[in-house]
Chains A and B, each alone.
Chain A
Amino acid sequence: MQRKKECVAMLLAGGQGSRLFALTNNIAKPAVPFGAKYRIIDFPLSNCINSGIDTVGVLTQYQPLVLHEYIGNGQPWDLDRSFGGVHILSPYQAKTGSKWYEGTANAIYQNMHFMKMYSPDYILILSGDHIYKMDYNAMLQAHIESGADCTIAAMEVPLSEASRFGILNTNPDGSIYQFEEKPKQPKSNLASMGIYIFTAEKLYHYLELNENDVSPQNEKDFGKNILPTMLAAGEKMFSYRFRGYWKDVGTVSSLWESNMDLLGKEPAFDIADPSWKIQTRNPLAPSEYIGEEAVVHNSMVALGCEIEGTVVNSLLSANVIVEKGAVVKDSVLMSGTVVKSGATVTYSIIDENVTIGENAVIGEEKEVAAGKGKTNGIALLGRGITVDAGMTVSAGQIVDRDVKGE
């Protein structure tokens, strides 16, 4: 019997994530920490394994070190396999010269031999920018049943926001008759989620075709080039309706909101759902300690934290220290960060291993801060910096170097 995989997933993880500013100075967007324990890439990887897809190529390009180290051999996601499993696909040097990935389609094109190694019938294209739980196998079954050449996952968005997305105009049976990338006057509110299933031979064909198109307009992009070309050529394209939580965490404010969506008794996004476990690389830390005078309300706190101060409406990743008298409110603190006594952190996102000195003031109340700066008022501190005692970082400020006192 020929060794093959029915479906191979290709995860586009090369995005720079420039709208996350300091958070992506040194790491690729899919490696950005999320939800007190996870990283963004945990979601598509967990969705794959939960959907029975055990062969995943992860295409990296921008600042890949942390991402590569994080994925490792794929063991946390059960993707360490002798046939299949997770594979990092970085741009490489070939006999004809080395090439960076030029667009999403070109990135997949350059890894054609990887896909063909598994003789798949279908290829699933994913991106590493979204927080969601989705059964890709259900989508694959729909793709097979409809006999489509390409199936695009889509969900309804408010019409006012539709012009930010690729919009699908569909017939009642779900087949697509028009695809508009970020239309000014959207005809529908059915937005593409950037998740595609292709029948493998069709994908190979259109990738070759696109690669040979030397016109300057060709951006070698799925949304802008591959999908419209296929539609124009009369290929059978279907939409697959997704109903559930799905959030693009490409901006500081959407990342903050999505984190907050995990809180509450009935959270907008249930990350502890036992029927759809999100797998991740676990921190090596003991249980968290909540001290004598600590107050912790409506928050998520990860292992290894030591809380002596006050934590309200916040998410704290592993090994965060909040000293006595310090107050953390409406904030996301990534692992290893220390908030010294008397400091306050309000409406902020603090990256890993930041030290906030005694009585320092970071951010302002959400209501006052809203709209300030490029982050909708969220104060943002980058990885590994130190804010000296008594210093202030105001609402909406983005800081990626030490804040020194006198």
Chain B
Amino acid sequence: MAMSAVGVIFSNINEDKIAELSRPRTMASIPFGGRYRLIDFTLSNMVNSGITTVGILTKNNYQSLMDHLGSGKDWDLARKAGGIILLPPYSDDSDSLYVNRLDALKGVTSFLKKRKEDYVVMADCDGVMRIDFSKVLQYHIEKNADITMVYHNETVVKQPYYMTFETNESGRIEEIAINPNVVGQTANVYSNIMIFNREFLLNIVMDAITHGYSSFGRDILTKNVKSLKLYGYRFDGYYAGMDSLLAYYKHSMELLNKDVRNELFGARDIYTKVRDSAPSKYGDEAKIRNSLVSDGCEIEGTVENSILFRGVKVAKGAIVRNSIIMQDTVIGENATVNCIITDKNVVIRDRRNLSGCETLPFFLPKGSMV
């Protein structure tokens, strides 16, 4: 279905929540699920909803993101008209990079002005889900809303920043709370996806510039909750919010559950950059149980309850349990690891023994050698 909406993706926002993995890269390019990056889910959702133009806002460390996206062909977004448009920081009145969402939007007003689409779907990259934006847009149009915000119901855990809201029977948002003290309770938590009428979005951004506003949440949403037509769209599917390294670990492990896998990947329509690795190879003594394995792996040892990204090598006698092993990591002979997360290109030498625990997985940064 052709959709009169342009996508806007914030690649950096919320990256302080998961600093270990976002240090060398953007939130958008954090590896997830064996062969994906977080942005693959947002981007695939947009493409599968009929969006053909996506502006991606970047700030810092976006080399890996550019490398991942390339021309956009892997998402069918290498287009003459539209496609992927990278929007690096732009400012004509200051030397510093933008510090918040509103600032960032100011930098892309010229992009938004040039578009012809009636609507804007604005999304962050910290939620892994499969959502049909055309349904959200339909809801937005039916409600004649100014802004439609997607939310899900979850038990709130401690995290640096979140927004909850209350809606009435018609779905209209009546109250917005930023970081309310509801840890441990279930609440309607904002999923970091909004739909706007494009002209309306431009107006509020221009207005914010005039008034010197700095926070989208505080200065625009909470202040105007009564005057704006804010609607909530409840998402009931699987939602994995990457709020912390522990949440990342927990949600990664949820992929070992068949129902979660089927919901996210059953339709085989989550796109990612292809790497042209050979299929993975399993040796004579390999013992693999309840694990996800990506292409290009070579497994000679034991792997249990783990996720192996592309090109991982597990040598003879090595034991990998309850771990997330990212791209091109090598686990040496007779090494034993449990509850660890290795970033890309980590080397665990022969006979090393490393263990974290399920509530505090041990993290090894990119390229480290143990």
Q: Give complex CA distance A292, B287 in Å.
A: 11
Whether the Cβ atoms of A286 and B33 lie closer than 8 Å is: yes
A284/B261 contact (C-beta < 8 A), A290-B293, A302-B279, A303-B279 known = no
Residues of chain B lying within 8 A (CB to CB) of residue A302? 279-280, 295
B276 to chain A, nearest CB (A): 6
Instruction: Judge if B269 is at the interface, Cβ distance under 8 Å.
Output: yes
For residue A372, CB closer than 8 A to chain B, the reply is no
* A35 with B279, Cβ < 8 A, contacts A282-B274, A290-B293 known: yes
- B293-A287 in contact (CB<8A): yes
* A289 touching B261 in the complex, CB below 8 Å, given contacts A282-B274, A284-B268, A297-B284: yes
Question: Would you call A296 and B286 a contact (CB within 8 A)?
Answer: yes
Among the listed A76, A278, A285, A299, which residue makes an inter-chain contact with B282, where contact means beta carbons less than 8 Å apart? A299
The answer to whether A287 and B279 have CB atoms under 8 Å apart is no
Q: Which residues of A contact B307 (CB under 8 A)?
A: 287
If A35-B279, A301-B279 touch, whether A285 touches B268 (CB-CB below 8 Å) is yes
Q: Mark B23-41, 1 if CB is under 8 A from A, else 0.
A: 0000000000111100000
A231 to B280, CA, bound (A): 47
Taking a contact as CB atoms closer than 8 A, the residue among B73, B281, B288, B289 that contacts A300 in the complex is: B281
Q: How far is the CA of A311 from the CA of B279 in the complex (A)?
A: 15
Chain A residue numbers with a CB within 8 Å of B280 are 288, 300-302
Q: For residue A273, which residue of chain B has the nearest CB? A: B278
B82 at the interface (CB under 8 A from A): no
A-B contact number at CB 8 A: 106
A45 to B126, CA, bound (A): 40
Q: Is A127 an interface residue (CB 8 A)?
A: no
Q: Which residues of chain B (264-298) have a CB below 8 Å from chain A?
A: 264-265, 268-271, 274, 276-296
Q: Indicate with 1 or 0, residue by residue over A37-49, a CB within 8 angstroms of chain B CB atoms.
A: 1000000000000
Known A-B contacts A286-B35, A286-B261, A287-B307; the reply to A298 vs B291 at CB < 8 A is no
Partner of B270, one of A282, A286, A292, A299: A286
Instruction: Using A272-B296, A284-B269, A297-B284 as known contacts, say yes or no to A37 and B290 having CB atoms under 8 A apart.
Output: no
A297 near B286: Cβ-Cβ < 8 Å: yes
Q: Is the CB of A272 within 8 A of B278?
A: yes
Given contacts A37-B279, A285-B268, contact A291 B34 (CB under 8 A): no
Instruction: State the majority secondary structure of interface residues on B.
Output: loop
**A287-B292, A287-B293, A291-B290 known; A301 and B34 CB under 8 Å?**
no
Interface string of A261-286 (1 = CB under 8 A from B): 00101000001100001111010111
Instruction: With A280-B276, A282-B274, A289-B261 as known contacts, state yes or no: A265 contacts B290, CB within 8 Å.
Output: no
Given contacts A285-B268, A286-B33, contact A297 B283 (CB under 8 A): yes
Cβ proximity bits B245-258 to A, threshold 8 Å, 1 near / 0 not: 00000000000101
For the complex, is A75 an interface residue (Cβ under 8 Å from B)?
Answer: yes
Q: For A389, what are the chain B residues with a Cβ–Cβ distance below 8 Å?
A: none
* Given A285-B265, A297-B283, CB of A290 within 8 Å of CB of B290: yes
Q: Which residues of the partner chain B approach A292 to less than 8 Å between Cβ atoms?
A: 289-290
Q: Which residues of A contact B293 (CB under 8 A)?
A: 287-290, 301
For B36, list chain A residues within 8 Å (CB).
286
B295–A289 CB distance below 8 A: no
Quick check: A290 and B73 within 8 Å, CB to CB?
Answer: no
The answer to whether B281 touches A286, judged by C-beta atoms less than 8 angstroms apart, is no
Q: Does A357 touch B at the CB level, under 8 Å?
A: no
Interface pair B276/A282, CB less than 8 Å apart: yes
Task: Give the one of A286, A288, A301, A302 with max B CB within 10 A.
Answer: A286
With known contacts A287-B33, A290-B289, A304–B268 Cβ distance under 8 A: yes
* Choice from A75, A287, A295, A303 contacting B73 with Cβ under 8 Å: A75
A299 to B293, CA, bound (A): 13
Contacting A at CB under 8 A, from B222-271, are 256, 258, 261, 264-265, 268-271
Interface centre among B269, B295, B307 (most CB of A within 10 A): B295
Interface string of A384-406 (1 = CB under 8 A from B): 00000000000000000000000
Which of B35, B278, B279, B291 has the most chain A CB atoms closer than 10 A to its own CB? B279
Compute how far the CA of A299 lies from the CA of B285 in the bound complex, rounded to whole angstroms: 11
The listed residue with most A CB atoms (<10 A of its CB), out of B271, B277, B296, B303, is B277
Query: Which residue of chain A lies nearest to B265 when distances are taken between CB atoms in the complex?
Result: A286
Contact between chains at A300 and B279 (CB < 8 Å): yes
- Tell me which residues across on chain A come within 8 A of B282, comparing CB atoms: 296-301, 311
- What's the minimum C-beta distance from B106 to chain A, rounded to whole angstroms? 37
Closest residue of A by beta carbon distance from B282: A296
Q: A317 CA to B289 CA in the complex, in Å?
A: 20
State the CA gap A317–B276 with chains docked (Å). Answer: 14
Distance A312 CA – B50 CA, assembled complex (angstroms): 43
A378 in the interface, Cβ–Cβ < 8 Å? no
A37 touches B268 (CB 8 A): no
Question: In whole angstroms, how far apart are the Cα atoms of A298 and B288 in the complex?
Answer: 12
CB distance from A311 to the nearest CB of B (A): 8
* Chain A residues within an 8 Å CB radius of B35: 286-287, 303
Which residues of A (348-389) have their CB < 8 Å from a CB of B? none
Taking CB atoms, residues of chain B closer than 8 Å to A295 are: 287
B280 → A minimal CB distance (Å): 6
Q: Which residues of B contact A (CB under 8 A)?
A: 33-36, 73, 256, 258, 261, 264-265, 268-271, 274, 276-296, 300, 303, 307-308
Residues of chain A having any CB pair with chain B under 8 Å: 35-37, 75-76, 263, 265, 271-272, 277-280, 282, 284-304, 311, 315, 317, 319
Known: A265-B300, A286-B261, A296-B288. 7 other contacts (CB 8 A): A37-B278, A265-B283, A278-B278, A290-B291, A297-B282, A297-B283, A302-B295
The 11 listed contacts between A and B (C-beta, < 8 Å) are A277-B276, A284-B271, A287-B307, A288-B294, A289-B291, A290-B289, A294-B288, A296-B286, A298-B284, A302-B280, A304-B268
Lowest 7 A-B CB distances belong to which pairs?
Answer: A287-B34, A272-B278, A286-B265, A282-B274, A36-B279, A302-B279, A287-B292
